[in-house]
Structure 1
Amino acid sequence: MLMAELVCSPEGDAQTLHLQARIATLMALSGVFSAGGENLQRTLTTLSEAYAQWLEEKEGVLAEEEEILNQLLQAQKGKEKKTLGYEFNRLFVGPQSPTVPPYESVYRHGERLVMQKSTLDVRRWYRSEGLSLAGASKEPDDYIATELEFAAYLLAKALAGFQKNQPGEAELYLKNYNAFYQEHLRIWLPRFVTGLFTQAREPLFHVLGEMILKTVRAVPS
């Protein structure tokens, strides 16, 4: 995980409240992957709550976005913790080669290779903000949890600009978020989600993929 402090005030106008909820959803998505299959019950509860709050604050909520939340809640019912944990590991961890690797470079460079050019590009993004991976992290810089956390970080910096009445700073970070989205997230996450749709045996992970696509999008700047 990145060494970043994400502190958001719970108060604000409609714009800031919506941004807070989106940040919380991105962080919750990040947490699903970083905490691992053994903690799914906890991280999925956090994700459901954050996503529900995002829909509450969002203007023009689509029926399909509400249905994603309903499907997420339903997919958790009646499933043993071990079953979902085993599927999480099969898809993303191993012990054998993960079925749907959660690394950008795999989808950008072919041959299921990690630590490629896109990994270094992502690292440069982190360093441009004075960030680096925590010392205990064993994952490459382009791990999905870390990229989602960085996306949340950029939006949190934008939010801080709005809260400090510094619109120039806020707009800068919204533009940075959109640039990171265009250069990285937009390119590989749809391919990653396609892998979930085709490889996942549990509906929960299909819903998780749909939620990623609905949440990780460009923002007005």
Structure 2
Amino acid sequence: MEVRRSDEDAVSVEAAAETLRMLSGVMGSVPDGEWTPSLVKAVEALGDDAPGCARMRRYLGEHAGEDDFVQALAVDWTLAFRGVSPAHGPRPPYAGAWLGDDGTGVGVMLAVNSCYVAEGLGTSGSKPNRLDYLGVELEFMAHLLSKAAAGGEGAREAEASLSSFIDRYVLSWLPRYRAQVEERCKTEFWKGFLELTESAVREVRAALSGDDGRASDA
């Protein structure tokens, strides 16, 4: 059956998709002198009510004027999102690294990629990250949300695919990863950022469960 959405519902779903794209972009770009000001503006625009945002704003308020501010953010970004120092930092945010039996999870990575291919999003190998990288997964979730927001015959299928993807390949490991970031990373900024990320994913999943009553059958 075709899923019908009011204009207000569609705007709300697309806004959630844009939030996921923003989170994906932040996660995929190492902070530098040119990029960090836009990051600060993005955090300020979110306000303090969203989970994790007060922590991020507090960190920015306390450290943004320091000479090594950008470097400190970049070092902790590398520790949190690149997994270059397993002895000191968290396991990297690859679904396969958390769900695979061998610590690498190539099979999981291929399974994640099969979800992309099923949506016509085959990869060319040009992306700088693994296919099961959290930032890439968020980008895929945003794609499915936009498809659901458009309504029509493909909306329900997009919602079902997104629900399954979140359950199998995101929330099945994201809380454990975030716990390691809380324990091993230094800056409150990235801890707050991942608190916001997990909250955003959970909100999308709750909406897909029908808690907000968005979708209605024709």
Structure 1 and Structure 2 fold alike (TM over 0.5): yes
1:143 equivalent in alignment to 2:128:
no
CA contact (8 A) 1:87 1:202 kept: yes
Counterpart of 1:86, as a letter, is: V
Task: Return the match for 2:57 from 73, 92, 97.
Answer: 73
Q: Does 1:46 align with 2:42?
A: yes
Any conservation in 2 of the 1:158–1:174 contact (CA below 8 Å)?
A: yes
CA RMSD in angstroms comes to 2.4
Residue 186 of structure 1 aligns to a residue whose secondary structure is coil
Matched, 1:18 2:12: yes
Aligned counterpart for 1:195 among listed residues 180, 194, 201: 180
Q: Does 1:130 align with 2:98?
A: no
Structure 1 distance, partners of 2:167, 2:140, is 14
The letter of the residue matching 2:54 is N
Q: Which residue of 1 aligns with 2:213?
A: none
Between the aligned partners of 1:121 and 1:44, the Cα distance in structure 2 is 35
Letter aligned with residue 42 of structure 1: S
Equivalent positions of 1:1-221 (< 5 A) are 13-38=7-32, 39-43=35-39, 45-46=41-42, 49=45, 51=46, 65-66=49-50, 68-77=52-61, 78-79=63-64, 80-93=69-82, 96-97=85-86, 99-100=89-90, 101-109=92-100, 113-161=103-151, 166=152, 168-217=153-202, 218=205, 219-220=207-208, 221=210
AA aligned opposite 2:93: P
* Aligned equivalents of 1:183, 1:30: Cα separation in 2: 19
Give me the TM-score of the superposition, normalised by structure 2.
Answer: 0.78
Distance 2:15 2:181 in 1: 25
Q: Which runs of 5+ in 1 are unaligned?
A: 1-11, 53-63
* Deviation of 1:115 (Å): 4.5
Give 1:172 shift: 1.8
How many residue pairs were aligned?
192
- Contact 2:145 2:158 (C-alpha < 8 Å) held by counterparts: yes
Residue 65 of structure 1 deviates from its aligned partner by 4.7
Take 1:103 and 1:198, find their aligned partners in 2: how far apart are those partners? 18
1:180-200 superposed Cα distances (whole Å, 9 cap, x missing partner): 111111101111111111111
Tell which structure's C-alpha radius of gyration is larger: 2
CA contact (8 A) 1:31 1:43 kept: no
1:127 shift after superposition? 0.3
Higher relative contact order (CA 8 A, sep 6+): 2
AA partner of residue 72 (structure 2): T
Q: Is the 8 A contact 1:32 1:40 kept in 2?
A: no
Report the AA paired with residue 138 of structure 2. L
After superposition, the C-alpha distances for 1:71-92 in whole angstroms (9 at most, x for unaligned) are 3222222241111111111222
Q: Which runs of 5+ in 2 are unaligned?
A: 1-5, 211-218
Q: Does structure 1 conserve the Cα–Cα contact (< 8 Å) formed by 2:43 and 2:56?
A: no
Aligned-pair CA distance for 1:27? 0.5
Q: Which has the higher helix share?
A: 1
1:148 positional shift: 0.5
The CA deviation at 1:95 is 5.2
Q: Which moved more, 1:31-40 or 1:16-25?
A: 31-40
- Per-residue CA shift, 1:82-127, capped at 9, x if unaligned? 111111112222654582212111111256x334221111010000
